[in-house]
Amino acid sequence: MAVARITKRLVDACEPADKPVFIFDESLKGFGLKVNPTGGKNYIVEYRVGAGGRLTRKRRITISAISNMTPDQARKKAREYLAVARTGVDPASARSKERKVPDFKSFAYRYLDEEAISRLKPATIQNYEINIRKHAIPFIGPLKLTEITRTEIQQLHSTIGRRTKIQANRTIETISAVYRYAQTLGIVEEGYNPTNGIKSFKETPRTRYLSEDEFMRLGAAIRLAETDGIPWELSENDFTSKHTVKSQNQKSVFPIGATDTIRLLMFTGCRLREILNLTWPEVDLERGLLFLADSKTGARTVVLNQIAMKILKRQDRCGLYVFPSDFSDAPRADLNKPWRAIRRHAGAEDMRLHDLRHSFASVGAGAGMGLPIVGALLGHKQAATTERYAHLDASPLRVASDQIGKKIAKALAG
């Protein structure tokens, strides 16, 4: 066993022999070079775990082939391994465990299949899958879970935030959930989560209410969509194309199942998925109730008004779902196409389907029904959730204020 200063010149000069040749560094005990009979050369380190001593078995691991590191880089790595060994941890075992750590992409999908599916609602799982596939994987997908740092997560958050701050926050929440599951399985150490300390972007809740005029325009657009059809919005290129459909045929007619779904959203204040996934066993027309088995806030009962009941009574019972897909006995996937056409024709391009729920609540609050009643109709579990409509509430306080104002005005008038 030779001892010498391991340099690039020494490494290049070493020749193979019939048996492996070992040369150990004179400046760092345990760091060495192994030359195999085949000509392959590797940096190695020998160590004893803990305090060492003759009674402790000596171990050896390969640091790297000489083509992957310079002697100085290998010496630095050997020094790290020796430091770990002095703490009582076997570097070989630690490295073996590190090699078994999955990359973020594979483990994130494992999280969806094993953990999320048993704890989260289907709509939430769908959103998590989008956050992982479209936003997280392009940044950190190939990296091992233990290699990802807070710096990389911060860069990801900032990059997505330049496009959409809400999506950036949701993506960080998803990544955090993946790491919590990794901690549970012991894949990463307890408390190791690179999303810790990432400050969320401030989110301003968007609450839009339909005016009476917008309700009228929306109603007219819905009726047109299911009868004559919504006129197409054509670009200049469409007008010059030889394949352009004749002007009288440039319309989109939508099935009444789609337009009635939108109507039911307006007349119940329900969430989109609560109506799209509604099944006939959940409908009780005799008592005028919907018994939703699973909503955002859990099972809840929806009280139907007469118009909502009329909408439900005219639906065909041709399967499990009240509003089935046009192609199979499954719930309607979405309302994107008809809703975009209807809101465009109604002159309300910024209107979202969820704004129908806000508008249902605003009408109730403005009519003086009181926030507890409005919250009960919407299925709110917390009173604070309904507080966003407080400024619309024609409550007894407003009535009292009006009475006081009238008395003051009467006194001022003599």
Neighbours of 119 (CB within 10 A): 10
Model pLDDT for residues 33-56, shown as the tens digit of each residue: 999 999 999 999 999 888 766 777
Looking at residue 258, what is its pLDDT?
93
Domain ranges for the chain: 2-99, 104-184, 212-356
**In this structure, what DSSP letter does residue 409 have?**
H
| Residues in the chain where the model's pLDDT stays below 50 | 239
What contacts 127, CB < 8 A, 6 or more positions away? 170, 174
Answer whether 104-184 and 212-356 agree in fold.
no
Report pLDDT for 76. 93
* pTM, two decimal places: 0.60
Q: How much is the pLDDT for 78?
A: 93
Q: Which residues contact 193 (CB under 8 A, 6 or more apart)?
A: 176, 179, 180, 183
DSSP-derived pairing of the beta strands 59-65 and 41-47: antiparallel
CA 119, 120, 122 angle in degrees (round to 5)?
135
Give the pLDDT confidence score for residue 89 in this predicted structure: 84
Q: Distance between CA 28 and CA 71 in Å, rounded?
A: 12
Q: What is the C-alpha to C-alpha distance for residues 317 and 307, in angstroms, rounded to an integer?
A: 19
3-state secondary structure (DSSP) of residue 32? strand
The pLDDT of residue 240: 53
How many residues are there in the chain? 414
Class of domain 104-184: mainly alpha
Structure tokens at 385: 């959730």
The answer to whether 353 and 335 have CB atoms below 8 angstroms apart is yes
What integer pLDDT is reported at residue 392 of this predicted model? Answer: 65
CATH code that applies to domain 212-356: 1.10.443.10
pLDDT of residue 244: 52
What is residue 52's predicted lDDT score, i.e. its pLDDT?
Answer: 66
H or E stretch at 177: helix 165-184
Which CATH architecture describes the domain 2-99?
2-Layer Sandwich (3.30)
